[in-house]
Copies of this chain bind each other. A is one copy, B any other.
Amino acid sequence: MINLGTIGTNWITERMLEAATTIGAYRLQAVYSRHSATAAQFAHDHAGQRSYTNLTDFFNDEQVDTVYIASPNSLHFQQILQALRHHKNVIVEKPAVLSPYQLQMILDEQARQPDLQVLEAARNVHMPAFKAVEQQLATWDHVEGAEFNFSQYSSRYDQVLAGELPNVFNRKFGGGVLTDLGIYPIYDAVALFGVPQQQFYYPTWIKTGVDGKGTARLEYDGFTVILNFSKISFSNQASEIYGGRQLITIDNAGEFTQADYFTGKEQQQLSPAYRDNPMIPEMTDFAALLEQPNTRIAKERGNRERQLMKQVNQVLDRLAASAGISYPQ
């Protein structure tokens, strides 16, 4: 059993716990929230054993071996470091951190305690459809490009239009679509094709000064990958990977619930539509690492997870820089 402590009490933590319960490999030990009533209620609702309003007390809970972090992005760095220093594994919502320097400090801390895992919860690259696409791509001898799309209109944008300043569109809190939705297609591209040779981000600015919509261009050796994402408009577009007379389509770069393969007029389903809790696949993969951390395969997978996290961090940092965006640290 993996003994979880959670930071953050919003819907994503609930979905994660729902997935963890379904898998059966996790048990909720401790809940942290700044507010005592919120912490107690959340623990009660999810069969958590204890609740904390003091972060140090929370990290000192000896029953917790793995901390799940879904706090505001700007708090991740200190919380990840503290968790590791209290000898706990970390599962952190994406983006883990935005600064390459912060990420390296985390990786250094993990390297000092190599039996610990630091895992970024990029659920899309753990989906069955993602793995089916990886397998299909492994049979291709050339790629002509790809386009990954993930757009969802945010009801908070109505507030912006009404003159308000919600956090998700506030520069001071690192708001903007690149880190919020863009991180999904970036994960897709980097997991499938690696770090690009060059990367550029073309944002559509909204009046609060953040990027509400954007297109990223990732230049690889011989092909280009285009990423489109938006919180100020929605889209029905699928995502596609081009291979001459071959084509892979994915329903949605953020969800990755279904993948299909086309060649000429023929169609083949690579992975049927996934209809379950979309955090089950990642939490299943993570459980395998966390339950048997000292096997060779767990060590290799842990390395791959950290390498991918670092590559994504680099691409995200460079995309932001290419558009003159700097996030508060």
Chain A residues within CB distance 8 Å of chain B: 144-145, 147, 151, 153, 157, 202, 204, 212-213, 215, 217, 219, 222-224, 226, 228, 230, 232-238, 240, 242-245, 247, 249, 262
Contact = CB atoms under 8 A, between A and B. Distances in A.
The quantity of this chain's copies bound in the complex is 2
A233 B224 contact: no
A145 B240 CA distance: 20
A219 B224 CA distance: 19
B247 A234 contact: yes
Contact of A224 (B202, B222, B262): B202
B236 A217 contact: no
A147 B148 CA distance: 13
Contacts of A144: 204, 212-213, 230, 232-233
Contacts of A234: 242, 245, 247, 262
Contacts of A145: 204, 213, 230, 233
Given A147-B228, A153-B245, A217-B215, A204 B222 contact: yes
A235 B157 CA distance: 32
From A233, A235, A240, name the one whose CB has the most chain B CB atoms within 10 angstroms: A233
A230 B242 contact: yes
Nearest to A157: B244
Contact of A240 (B204, B237, B242): B237
A114 to B, nearest CB: 42
A289 to B, nearest CB: 36
25 contacts: A144-B204, A144-B232, A144-B233, A145-B204, A145-B213, A145-B233, A147-B228, A151-B242, A153-B245, A202-B217, A202-B219, A202-B224, A204-B223, A213-B224, A213-B242, A215-B226, A226-B226, A233-B242, A233-B243, A235-B240, A235-B247, A236-B240, A236-B249, A237-B237, A237-B240
Contacts of A224: 202, 204, 213, 215
Contacts of A238: 236-237
A151 B145 CA distance: 12
Given A204-B223, A230-B242, 12 more contacts: A145-B204, A147-B228, A202-B219, A202-B224, A204-B222, A215-B224, A215-B226, A226-B228, A232-B244, A233-B244, A234-B247, A237-B238
Contact of A147 (B157, B237, B240): B237
Nearest to A235: B240
Nearest to A267: B236
Contacts of A235: 240, 242, 247
Contacts of A240: 235-237
A12 to B, nearest CB: 23
Closest 9 CB pairs of A and B: A233-B242, A144-B233, A144-B232, A215-B226, A153-B245, A233-B244, A144-B213, A235-B240, A204-B224
A247 B242 contact: no
Contacts of A230: 144-145, 242
Contacts of A202: 217, 219, 224
